Amino acid sequence: MFSGKTEELIRILRRSDLAGKKIIVVKPLIDVRSTDEIASRRTSSGQSKDFAKSEVFPAISIESAQELGDIIRREQPTILAIDEAQFFDPWLMDFLVDLMRRTRDTDLTVLVAGLDMDAWGKPFGVMPHVMALADEVQKETAICFQCKMPAMFTQKLVSSEQQVEVGDFEIY
């Protein structure tokens, strides 16, 4: 959380948009922090309670392979971006493998952003599998608000043992 994953994704998407690429961004329906966009969050004071949206990009909330397939067929994007991939069910992995096979000779670029580990340092959802498939992996790290050192793990601020818990600075 707060490592700049979505911020970096939006930066790449803005450049792709300038280059005239047809972009589709999807995010999991479970991510209710915003309905029709992905958003990076930034703090100006370095305090965990001072986060606000800094960059946004339009996105479509989905929950199934059928929805994603329909969007790709209808929109014919050259860039498919998937944010918060750790929240998707295992169907995403099968979908991406099939997509790679079907679009090998096309100009479709797939960008995926998400957490690879949960708050306990365990693999999170489909992300480790997606990373294994990727041509390129870029890992971002947050800065710990306490010690100001790079943070390799997400810290949960509430006493919950749920792996999937959508939230912002009030939980993480």
Q: What is the pLDDT of residues 78-121, one digit of tens each?
A: 999 999 999 999 999 999 999 999 887 788 999 999 989 887 88
**pTM surpassing 0.85?**
no
pLDDT at 144: 76
- Whether the CB-CB separation of 120 and 152 falls below 8 Å is answered with no
The contacts of residue 124 (CB under 8 Å, 6+ apart) are 86, 114, 115, 116, 117, 118, 163
What pLDDT does residue 1 have? 55
Which listed residue (37, 84, 136, 161) is catalytic?
84
Q: What is the pLDDT of residue 152?
A: 75
pLDDT of residue 171: 54
Average pLDDT over the chain, rounded to whole?
A: 84
- pLDDT band at 8, cuts 50/70/90? very high
DSSP for 2-42? -SSHHHHHHHHHHHHHHTT--EEEEEETT-TT-SSEEEEEE
Is the pLDDT at 140 greater than 80? The verdict is yes
pLDDT reported for residue 53: 61
8 is catalytic: no
Distance CA 4, CA 167 (A): 16
pLDDT recorded at residue 163: 58
Instruction: Output the pLDDT for position 164.
Output: 56
Whether 73 and 106 have beta carbons less than 8 Å apart is answered as: no
Residue 111: phi and psi, rounded to 5, are -115, 130
Quick: pLDDT tens for 18-77: 999 999 999 999 987 777 988 876 545 555 455 556 789 999 999 999 999 999 999 999
